[in-house]
Amino acid sequence: MKTYLDCIPCFFRQALEGARIVRASPKQQKQIIDGFARKIPKISLQSSPPEIARLGYALLKKISPNGDPYKDIRQKSNRIALRLLGRLKNKVNHSKDRILTALELAIAGNIIDFGVKNNLNVKAELKKILAKESKVIHKKSIFHYLEFKRALKKARKILYLADNAGEVVFDRVLVEEIKRAYPEKDIYYSVKSKPIINDALLEDARECGIHAVTQVISNGTDAPGTLLDLCSKEFRKIYKSADMIISKGQGNFESLSQEARPIFFLFMVKCPVVARETGCKMGDTVLFYNLKKNGSIQN
Amino acid sequence: MKTYLDCIPCFFRQALEGARIVRASPKQQKQIIDGFARKIPKISLQSSPPEIARLGYALLKKISPNGDPYKDIRQKSNRIALRLLGRLKNKVNHSKDRILTALELAIAGNIIDFGVKNNLNVKAELKKILAKESKVIHKKSIFHYLEFKRALKKARKILYLADNAGEVVFDRVLVEEIKRAYPEKDIYYSVKSKPIINDALLEDARECGIHAVTQVISNGTDAPGTLLDLCSKEFRKIYKSADMIISKGQGNFESLSQEARPIFFLFMVKCPVVARETGCKMGDTVLFYNLKKNGSIQN
């Protein structure tokens, strides 16, 4: 997905919020805003939003070079989500279509996102998710579940792109269900290599216990999405050879939506630009398979 | 009021919305954003928000040099508000405290603001104002009415700073009530000299009929607030000699809040920064007299 001019005010807002999270002084906050403003005339709107957002986050790293300012937030998300694991599994156990329920929960877990709204009360939001599952279902505007089931059945190698810490617990439930239905599938769960906002890292994958369920890899970058050019060779090899990709979150959608690969994008619509791009509404739950780029998947 | 870093994303949003209103091409929109971004490192946060916003609007003027892109919007606001005049006067006629009711309506009329939210459905909003007058009253968090009444009684020369077109009709009702109670007061109703967003101009004052009620002057600028340094000598003379100033809207508050002058700021709180600055909530109705700068007004 290309960047829209409407993304630019939002980049500034994110840079400022990030600056405050890394405890930049007011002077440093101004320096970050100024530094980012200087980059604006040089950027191409053909870049994806995560590519541009990354430039802002790079400025934050200068203030806090070895820092991992969202570490507490990541750990807190992991703990809160882990406490919900029993209830998540219970929901799946009592459902008619286990994969569908796990899939819906995995998308609902995408609400854990500090890039979009950093004052999110994760605990309250997650409780709401569990309470209002039926509502979530009603807000599906794009939901290519038939294609998803077909692809899942046929796939041998699946690459699952993580988004946020905490959310990993929700992903774990889906991966466990896929493994239960198809024990023979190779599933790679991919996280970021270095801290970026509250995106899941290897340590989060471990804390959320998904490493015990499937293979966990890191993608070689600290971009808030999947910028293939910056990813490690190892990651790209798996990306290219996977015959199904499950992609979580807006950042991954924004960076991979133009790819002609069998990618299923699972996310909640969190900004008006993505809402317009997808024809959805804010807060919608999306399971999107790019039929135009990939064609239909036959049984 | 100084500018906060939180204002910067909002300036970009306003510049972009303005660019679309002047029908700038996507390329021109990008040029405006880039041009504004280049100015950011040079600005001082000690400037008031309208001073900085004006830099963005100056870029729009380059695209549409003789343009008055909000003309239609201004005229529409005037027409819609004029149709409400009878109902506004009726409200005043049936109230116990005529000045108080007219004052509340004048503040409520400040909802007509395209700088903050350009897709505002003025007609619907104004109907709501008339319907929910009692609610508006409940949302008063700062309301220095006692000081206002005292100042009004004592003042000989009153300067009334207009904000938006359409809103002028609401101001007219207040000015008429002041004239009714104190026919001897000199009241100057001041508008902008050149188009800036939907701010009231001389032609709007005429269209709304306030010129028949009191003297209308223009302030010599096209700033979205009152930037005294840029105002005409004539305006500044009246500003300095007035013993009561009634200031409408956030833009005037942002540019004059530090002045040690007997200014009564009437506005609706439309952004989180002003909410924080005033200790109010978004949507609050404010009648603010800066006691710290001016001291109390005695009977």
Q: Model ipTM?
A: 0.85
pLDDT at position A23, please? 87
pLDDT at position A117, please? 47
Across A128-137, A147-156, B273-282, B283-292, the highest mean pLDDT is recorded for: A147-156
Q: How confident is the model at residue B157 (pLDDT cuts 50, 70, 90)?
A: very high
Burial bucket for residue A151 (CB in 10 Å: 0-12, 13-18, 19+) = buried
Measured between beta carbons, the chain A residues lying within 8 angstroms of B6 are 16
| Strand order, beta sheet including B285-289 | B140-143, B285-289, B263-268, B244-248, B157-161, B186-191, B215-218
Which of B:42-101 have CB within 8 Å of A? Answer: 45
pLDDT at position A138, please? 43
For the residues A10-37, what does the mean pLDDT come to? Answer: 93
pLDDT at position A157, please? 98
- Which of A4, A19, A55, A273 has the alpha carbon at shortest distance from B33? A4
In what helix (H) or strand (E) does residue B288 lie, and over which residues does it extend?
Answer: strand B285-289
pLDDT at position B135, please? 46
A182-191, B13-22, B134-143, B287-296, range with the lowest pLDDT: B134-143
Are the Cβ atoms of B9 and A16 closer than 8 angstroms?
yes
A203-207, B73-77, B255-259, range with the lowest pLDDT: B73-77
Say if strands B285-289 and A186-191 run parallel, antiparallel, or are unpaired: unpaired
Which of A:6-45 have CB within 8 Å of B? Answer: 6, 8-10, 12-13, 16, 26, 29-30, 33-34, 37-38, 40-41, 45
Name the average pLDDT for chain A. 89
Residue type, A291: L
- CA pair distance B13, B160, nearest whole angstrom: 29
For the residues A77-104, what does the mean pLDDT come to? Answer: 93
Distances B226 to A123, B21, B72, B152 between C-alpha atoms, Å = 46, 23, 24, 22
A102-116, A118-132, B139-153, range with the lowest pLDDT: A118-132
By the 8 A CB rule, do B245 and B253 touch? no
- Provide the shortest C-alpha distance from residue B34 to chain A (in Å): 5
Say if strands A157-161 and A140-143 run parallel, antiparallel, or are unpaired: unpaired
pLDDT at position B294, please? 82
Are the Cβ atoms of B30 and A6 closer than 8 angstroms?
no
| Strand order, beta sheet including A140-143 | A140-143, A285-289, A263-268, A244-248, A157-161, A186-191, A215-218
pLDDT at position A124, please? 65
pLDDT at position B137, please? 47
pLDDT at position B134, please? 45
Contacts of A130 (CB under 8 A, 6+ apart): A84, A87, A88, A91
- CA pair distance B59, B16, nearest whole angstrom: 11
pLDDT at position A298, please? 74
Contacts of B212 (CB under 8 A, 6+ apart): none
Sign for the CA dihedral angle at A276, A279, A282, A283 comes to negative
Where helices occur in B114-188 by DSSP H, the ranges are 122-131, 133-138, 145-154, 167-181
- CA pair distance A162, B22, nearest whole angstrom: 42
Residue with the two structure tokens 């790679």: A188
Taking phi over 0 as left and psi of -120 to 50 as alpha, with beta for the rest, A261 belongs to beta
Neighbours of B156 (CB within 10 A): 12
A38-52, B19-33, B280-294, range with the lowest pLDDT: B280-294
pLDDT at position B138, please? 43
For the residues A247-265, what does the mean pLDDT come to? Answer: 96
Are the Cβ atoms of A9 and B6 closer than 8 angstroms?
no
Neighbours of B174 (CB within 10 A): 26
Report whether pLDDT(B120) > 90. Answer: no
Report whether pLDDT(A68) > 90. Answer: no
Name the average pLDDT for chain B. 89
For the residues A6-25, what does the mean pLDDT come to? Answer: 92
Report whether pLDDT(B114) > 60. Answer: no
Going from N- to C-terminal start, the domains of chain B cover 7-63, 71-294
Q: Higher model confidence: residue B297 or residue A120?
A: B297
User: Among partner residues B16, B40, B41, which is closest to A5 by beta-carbon distance?
Assistant: B16
The fraction of chain A above a pLDDT of 70, given in percent, is: 89
For the residues B45-51, what does the mean pLDDT come to? Answer: 95
Q: How confident is the model at residue B130 (pLDDT cuts 50, 70, 90)?
A: low
pLDDT at position B178, please? 98
Q: How confident is the model at residue A45 (pLDDT cuts 50, 70, 90)?
A: very high
Angle at A269 between CA A263 and CA A275, to 5 degrees: 95
Are the Cβ atoms of A9 and B13 closer than 8 angstroms?
yes
Fold category of A71-294 in CATH: Rossmann fold (3.40.50)
By the 8 A CB rule, do A169 and A89 touch? no
Residue type, A172: R
Q: How confident is the model at residue A283 (pLDDT cuts 50, 70, 90)?
A: confident
pLDDT at position B131, please? 66
Sign for the CA dihedral angle at B130, B135, B139, B142 comes to positive
Q: How confident is the model at residue A80 (pLDDT cuts 50, 70, 90)?
A: confident
Report whether pLDDT(A20) > 60. Answer: yes
User: Among partner residues A8, A16, A37, which is closest to B41 by beta-carbon distance?
Assistant: A37
Contacts of B137 (CB under 8 A, 6+ apart): B104, B285
| DSSP result, A216-253 | EEE-S---SS--GGGS-HHHHHHHHH-SEEEEEHHHHH
Measured between beta carbons, the chain B residues lying within 8 angstroms of A8 are 12, 16, 33
Report whether pLDDT(B119) > 60. Answer: no
Say if strands A285-289 and A263-268 run parallel, antiparallel, or are unpaired: antiparallel
For the residues B35-50, what does the mean pLDDT come to? Answer: 96
Q: How confident is the model at residue B72 (pLDDT cuts 50, 70, 90)?
A: confident
> How many CB contacts within 8 angstroms connect chain A with chain B?
46
By the 8 A CB rule, do B36 and B9 touch? no
- Provide the shortest C-alpha distance from residue B200 to chain A (in Å): 27
Tokens of residue B278, six digits: 């005033």
Are the Cβ atoms of B40 and A33 closer than 8 angstroms?
yes
Phi, psi dihedral angles at B93 (to 5 degrees): -60, -30
- Provide the shortest C-alpha distance from residue B131 to chain A (in Å): 30
Q: What pTM value is reported for the model?
A: 0.87
Measured between beta carbons, the chain A residues lying within 8 angstroms of B34 are 40-41
Tokens of residue B265, six digits: 């700021």
Measured between beta carbons, the chain A residues lying within 8 angstroms of B29 are 5
For the residues B203-231, what does the mean pLDDT come to? Answer: 97
- Which of A164, A166, A162, A163 has the alpha carbon at shortest distance from A78? A166
User: Among partner residues B5, B30, B40, which is closest to A29 by beta-carbon distance?
Assistant: B5
pLDDT at position A67, please? 73
Report whether pLDDT(A46) > 70. Answer: yes
pLDDT tens digits for range B79-111 = 988 998 999 999 999 999 999 999 999 998 887
User: Among partner residues A10, A16, A34, which is closest to B6 by beta-carbon distance?
Assistant: A16
For the residues A45-73, what does the mean pLDDT come to? Answer: 88
For an interface test with A, the pick among B13, B21, B38, B55 (most A C-beta atoms closer than 10 Å) comes out as: B13
Are the Cβ atoms of A34 and B41 closer than 8 angstroms?
yes
Neighbours of B231 (CB within 10 A): 20
pLDDT tens digits for range A137-167 = 445 679 999 999 999 999 999 999 999 999 9
Report whether pLDDT(A282) > 70. Answer: yes
The fraction of chain B above a pLDDT of 90, given in percent, is: 71
- Provide the shortest C-alpha distance from residue A1 to chain B (in Å): 17
